[in-house]
Structure 1
């Protein structure tokens, strides 16, 4: 699976499309977790809150990525009580790290490939796991996304590659 040439889009905060695209990705991050929570431990196992943040950040850059990363967990918490308040800061940190790393890798490489997405996912999870350890002082909590959430990481990589490869040919 070769890499595909990719042109990330960077919209300013004064462009109304920034907020429209962010809204679309936030809605995706509201709906997908609700579906995944129908499976026992589906949120912890499938890590759905990160999927559309990955797509938003990789294709549309840091602004849309961070809007999605920050507002998705907050809206989910306010509307559905998930993630619980004690987990919310950790999700905000990990989502923000994902947005920053994905936007940087996309902008730097101008390619979408499985390896680029794997680097993105592993990097935000490693740094996020370290941050989670410092926030919770719990090794099992910090390692949870690598153990229980491994299927979700694979879905982010493979599903993200498929969606981003499809979007690579579209100018927005």
Structure 2
């Protein structure tokens, strides 16, 4: 079995006519195959072995992917718990956080633009421990603003520029 496995994994074709052509049973060294493999009109005896090797390889790949996913989910949970242990709460108006969320999604800078508004709002709500409620209605209200449709972003920009100016004057 090990010899055949090594032969198969080597991608050699030297003995293929003996392993895989019906009627060439002189290399039928392994007899641990299923009953249907013993019919020389149906199988060479090694067909099933190759199928098992391929199936086991596919199973290995699948299980490795599942392990990576489990490890990733565990890391995400750990990171979420770390985030929640910090006492950061958004204390501004909910509409400000909603405006920030829509801005982040609209920028395309989160997950290369592959994020939905709902995901972003759930994330911000969880991290900042705020129930954002009907964020779409808040977005409609932002669109209807007459003076400054992105008032909170303007305020953030002004606050940052002011801080930089104060640091420069020290």
- Normalising by the residue count of structure 1, what TM-score does the alignment of the two structures yield? 0.26
Larger radius of gyration: 2
Structure number with greater CO (CA < 8 Å, separation at least 6) is 1
- Normalising by the residue count of structure 2, what TM-score does the alignment of the two structures yield? 0.26
